[in-house]
Amino acid sequence: MKPTTMTMAALTVGVLALVPITGATGNAETPLPMTAAAAVAPQDDDHAGEAADAHGDDDHADEAKEAHGDDDHAGEAKDAHGDDDHAGEAKDAHGDDDHAGETEGAHGDEGGGDVVKLALEVAKEAGILLEQAELGALGESLSLPAEIRFDADRMANVTPKVSGVIDRLLVGEGDTVAYGDTLALITSRELAGLKAKWKISKTNEALAAQSLARLEGLWAQKITSEVNVQTARAEHESAKTESEAAETELHAVGIDHAGLEKIATAPDGNNANAYLTAPLAGTIVRRAATLGETVTAGDSSAKVLFTIVDDSVIWADIAVYKQDISRVLVGAPVALKSGAGDVIAQSTVAFVLPVIDEVSRTATARVIIDNSDRSLTPGQFVIADLSVGNTSEVLRVPQSAVQLVEDSPSVFVPVEGGFAPRAVMVGTTAGGYVEIRSGLEEGDLFVSGGAFTLKAQLEKDAFGDGHGH
């Protein structure tokens, strides 16, 4: 006989109800009387009813799926507890647990989570630099104070070349200028007089040349005397010399040959205009000129109107104590560090001045720094970490290339699709370099610049994937 199901009577509190029970093997069973409370939470059923509420402690928790497939009460797993607070837990038994669903994929990316996915072209644009690991000299570390200074060869104090009145100012402090840019316009009677003198001398030279040519023609015809010809030649040479002297004076105040050609055709009054130009490319760090101010030139009282510096290359002057002078050698690696110990720049010792300051009793070791990123400012004090003393050839990498990844010193190496950290064992640190004792071999490619950026991205990816705990 096929299983039959009886219709459930309506339940009311305190009224007996009939519970439908499906027969699995034979005749329909007689409905059992139960209270409303019993219908909601049967306490004595050991089988399918408990499967819906099981929380892992019941001996029959797994029997809901298989063990009681033929049980007379199998149908109750779906319906008997329709009003129970835990209905539906058969699928997720602990649906409210913080780690629900982790079994399928919560940590599925952990195997590849240590790779920063970045194409090489994009990495280069982001400032990621690759180098081959190589052997290099590394000695003892010596930390000394240093001061950042402007390169004296890249600094200019601009003074006027002619006296006059400042008529226009075209730049201010903080402006960047290129070589030859106009800084100010000075109206100068002195310049106007020099140009006029040159024009007169050129005219006299031309007249003297004509006179000499005429007399030489007459001498050829035996019409004039040789004395007159010699006199004309002397006058021509004198006029020529005066013209050349006047031209030299104009060159001395900044008028080139192109400017000389414009003197004769210049509009009225323009020959008094003197343009103050930039002698080098750089930044205006000081402007002492005032509109309408009278300025003088040619003596010690000449005022510096502009100061221009090019800080793309700077000096770091290291104060070397007298007992350490013999240990500091030209070419020794140097790392400039901030007060917090971060490496700001790296270079080598360019030279050591052979004198000791009488006051500080220190010598100066100068380091030339590429400051194209403007990370260092003249006047700034830093710590210079030098590699000194007896050196040995070891496998070394820049100190900034070594980053702590999961509390382990690591360097980033290129892998398929990006960059991955590789744990290394480090040794001596000196002059901005770190000895690598294991984990990296000579010739291996590694990230020498931008390693901190990759570390930050790696930590960001890990946090975003939920691995921050």
List strands edge to edge, sheet with 282-287.
155-158, 306-309, 282-287, 176-177
Structure tokens at 415: 């892998």
Clarify whether residues 73 and 165 are in a common domain. no
Amino acid found at 444: D
User: Which residues on neighbouring strands pair with residue 433, listed in sequence order?
Assistant: 398, 430
Clarify whether residues 319 and 418 are in a common domain. yes
- Domain of residue 292, CATH code: 2.40.50.100
Structure tokens at 168: 């226009």
Please report the pLDDT score of residue 465 as a whole number.
55
Clarify whether residues 336 and 218 are in a common domain. no
Alpha carbons 120 and 333: distance in angstroms, whole number = 29
Alpha carbons 321 and 361: distance in angstroms, whole number = 7
Please report the pLDDT score of residue 438 as a whole number.
86
- 207 domain residue, yes or no: yes
Q: Which residue did the predictor score with more confidence, 407 or 179? A: 179
Alpha carbons 424 and 258: distance in angstroms, whole number = 65
**C-alpha to C-alpha distances, 381 to 143, 310, 339, nearest whole angstrom:** 13, 19, 9
Provide the H-helix boundaries in 42-184.
48-51, 76-79, 89-92, 102-105, 120-125
Clarify whether residues 26 and 67 are in a common domain. yes
Quote the DSSP letter at residue 186.
Answer: E
Residue 419 pLDDT greater than 70, yes or no: yes
- 5 domain residue, yes or no: no
- pLDDT bin (cut points 50, 70, 90) of residue 464 is low
Residue 466 pLDDT greater than 90, yes or no: no
Query: Where is the domain boundary, 266, 291, 309?
Result: 309
User: Which residues on neighbouring strands pair with residue 369, listed in sequence order?
Assistant: 314
Clarify whether residues 143 and 191 are in a common domain. no
- 324 domain residue, yes or no: yes
Say how far residue 90 (Cα) sits from the centre of its chain: 56
- pLDDT bin (cut points 50, 70, 90) of residue 84 is very low
Query: Where is the domain boundary, 283, 309, 335?
Result: 309
Please report the pLDDT score of residue 126 as a whole number.
79
- pLDDT bin (cut points 50, 70, 90) of residue 96 is very low
Residue 33 pLDDT greater than 70, yes or no: no
Please report the pLDDT score of residue 388 as a whole number.
80
Q: Write out the residue range of the structural domain in which residue 228 sits.
A: 154-309
Clarify whether residues 82 and 163 are in a common domain. no
Quote the DSSP letter at residue 61.
Answer: G
Q: Does the pTM exceed 0.85?
A: no
**C-alpha to C-alpha distances, 434 to 187, 362, 412, 427, nearest whole angstrom:** 61, 28, 15, 7
Please report the pLDDT score of residue 380 as a whole number.
93
Clarify whether residues 178 and 229 are in a common domain. yes
Query: Where is the domain boundary, 286, 309, 332?
Result: 309
Q: What is the mean pLDDT of the chain?
A: 76
Clarify whether residues 300 and 316 are in a common domain. no
- Domain of residue 404, CATH code: 2.40.30.170
Structure tokens at 445: 């490619």
Q: In this structure, are residues 342 and 432 in contact, taking their beta carbons and an 8 Å threshold?
A: no
Match 């990123």 to its residue by tokens.
373
**C-alpha to C-alpha distances, 448 to 52, 339, 413, nearest whole angstrom:** 59, 22, 9
Structure tokens at 5: 């199901």
- 112 domain residue, yes or no: no
Q: In this structure, are residues 37 and 62 in contact, taking their beta carbons and an 8 Å threshold?
A: no
Residue range 228-246: mean pLDDT, rounded: 93
For residue range 238-289, list pLDDT tens digits in order. 999 999 999 999 999 888 888 888 888 888 888 899 999 999 999 999 999 9
- pLDDT bin (cut points 50, 70, 90) of residue 316 is very high
Clarify whether residues 141 and 233 are in a common domain. no
Alpha carbons 141 and 15: distance in angstroms, whole number = 92
- pLDDT bin (cut points 50, 70, 90) of residue 463 is low
Structure tokens at 252: 């001395």
Residue range 352-376: mean pLDDT, rounded: 91
Domain count for the chain: 3
For residue range 328-338, list pLDDT tens digits in order. 889 888 989 88
Backbone angles phi, psi at 296, to 5 degrees: -120, 160
**Nearest-10 crossing angle of helices 189-220, 226-252:** 160
Q: In this structure, are residues 205 and 243 in contact, taking their beta carbons and an 8 Å threshold?
A: yes
- 116 domain residue, yes or no: no
Q: For strand 282-287 and strand 306-309, is the pairing parallel, antiparallel, or unpaired?
A: antiparallel
Say how far residue 34 (Cα) sits from the centre of its chain: 78
Run of H or E including 6: none
Residue range 354-383: mean pLDDT, rounded: 92
- pLDDT bin (cut points 50, 70, 90) of residue 327 is confident
Q: In this structure, are residues 419 and 447 in contact, taking their beta carbons and an 8 Å threshold?
A: yes
- pLDDT bin (cut points 50, 70, 90) of residue 235 is very high
- 138 domain residue, yes or no: yes
Clarify whether residues 38 and 75 are in a common domain. yes
**C-alpha to C-alpha distances, 100 to 92, 106, 113, 264, 367, nearest whole angstrom:** 8, 9, 21, 92, 60
Residues 381-412: b if buried by 16+ CB within 10 A, e if exposed: ebbbbbbbbebeebbbbbbbbbbebeeebbbb
Clarify whether residues 134 and 193 are in a common domain. no
Clarify whether residues 185 and 131 are in a common domain. no
- 284 domain residue, yes or no: yes
Least confident of 77-86, 144-153, 357-366: 77-86
Q: Which residue did the predictor score with more confidence, 311 or 469? A: 311
Q: For strand 403-405 and strand 182-187, is the pairing parallel, antiparallel, or unpaired?
A: unpaired
Residue 60 pLDDT greater than 60, yes or no: no
Q: In this structure, are residues 377 and 417 in contact, taking their beta carbons and an 8 Å threshold?
A: no
- 469 domain residue, yes or no: no
Please report the pLDDT score of residue 77 as a whole number.
36
Run of H or E including 98: none
Quote the DSSP letter at residue 272.
Answer: G
